[in-house]
Structure 1
């Protein structure tokens, strides 16, 4: 803290904190309101909550049917952790596949939204708005119960497992959201970019692929990463339709243990796993937003 002689009109200023507070206020103004800021300590709090819930479960632990002492909640969690982590890896695999498929189709759909042909533009807009505003769980149920379990080609039978249907169901809303991200990025560029390319005798296709889209990549990257984090957290919906991901494996482990006091420790472990995976994505998204923000 800087010392000011007595009798002066200047007020003391905390110099080290001034720059930090000014930067935080600038980010809030750019976002239109105060931003919630996750820190690494929040993950430590979640881990502490997991350990605390295990301690509470141990305090509530009774004896078995034959009077023998039951193992602690922490020991049960350690025993089941490999199975739960295998399910979590399945969640990540589903999120990768759904994001890849949704991004590929959504990018084409987004470019169709800026087409000069009214039927193409209206059709892509309708598909985008339909799947973007449809509940994810409803789309998941439609894919699970309307698609066949196998395809009989006459000479070979190709199975169509439930996890593929779940991946397809989750890729539909991703497709619609990516379409909006692409459309917004393309239309956010100044119209002078199109006019300058037209004056240089570029075709619309050349303008789009060689001038417009390369500039849109850095604008699309932060919302695309944010969408992936949301998709990863939404993969637990696949447990409702019987896919063997982390939530399904957690339910099976709890059913095998048949101990109600293990509910909070096990689901706290699920929460910590998803936080540990999605928090770095949120941090990278914020950094990219600050790095690629449009200077007006």
Structure 2
């Protein structure tokens, strides 16, 4: 029995690897979209215009506090299956909808990380730069941002690890990821021992991917401590 279970796991290992690549693709795309949007929203949160600050604040509060599964269901079932661009129809697959669903809370968290990094810069640096006749844009680009990116990196990497674990929710809306693959394998083999083993294997896969990120995050936090 043990040999049969181990052999079945070995046979399903390539499929599990392909499924994990789907999760990684979703996580990388989601954090990329979330980072781009989050930096823009974080910048708007510091705008001198009150309507822009309020819009950014609402965005952050809504998507930081919204359940990720609800956002995934929302983007999956509200967005169309294809997008009409000119005379062409571009497919909008479910995995990309899940990516957008994860990018929304990621953008809110990146905006907060960005705002916190800006706020951690001593005000004396702003005052010193103004005394040297730098305008606001020059201060931001040349003095503040280079320091902010170093301070943002550890929490951003931690956020990426969290987003990666959140991709496990994608199987609930029909995306063929590593969780869905494990469910198919479990139903196909139909052995209790195999089901237990394959889900332990999923834990090991996610741990093997996320743990190095966690360790690197801790190392960067110590390096850039301020």
What TM-score comes out, normalization by structure 2 length? 0.97
CA drift at 1:260: 2.7
Shift of 1:154: 5.6
Distance 1:154 1:203, change over 3 A: closer
- Structure whose residues are more often helix by fraction: 2
- Mark the structure with the bigger radius of gyration: 1
| Structure showing greater relative contact order (alpha-carbon pairs closer than 8 Å, 6 or more residues apart) | 2
Give the match for residue 200 of structure 1: 132
1:255 maps to 187
Q: Which moved more, 1:147-156 or 1:251-260?
A: 147-156
**1:105-144, aligned counterparts within 5 Å?**
105-144=37-76
Secondary structure of the equivalent of 1:202? coil
How far off its partner does 1:254 sit? 1.0
C-alpha distance in 1 between matches for 2:144 and 2:84: 44
Residue correspondence of structure 1 range 1-296 to structure 2 within 5 A: 58=2, 72-153=4-85, 155-294=87-226
Q: Within 1, Cα distance between the matches of 2:153 and 2:225?
A: 11
Deviation digits for residues 17-45 of structure 1, max 9, x if unmatched?
xxxxxxxxxxxxxxxxxxxxxxxxxxxxx
1:207 Cα deviation after fit: 1.0
Structure 1 unaligned regions, length at least 5: 1-56, 59-70
Question: Structure 1 length as normaliser, TM-score?
Answer: 0.74
- 1:123/1:154 CA distance change after superposition, 3 Å: closer
- Rounded Cα–Cα distance in structure 1 between residues aligned with 2:135 and 2:184: 58
Query: How far has the Cα of 1:258 moved from its partner?
Result: 2.0
Aligned residues: 226
Q: CA deviation at 1:263?
A: 1.4
Report the aligned-residue RMSD.
Answer: 1.2
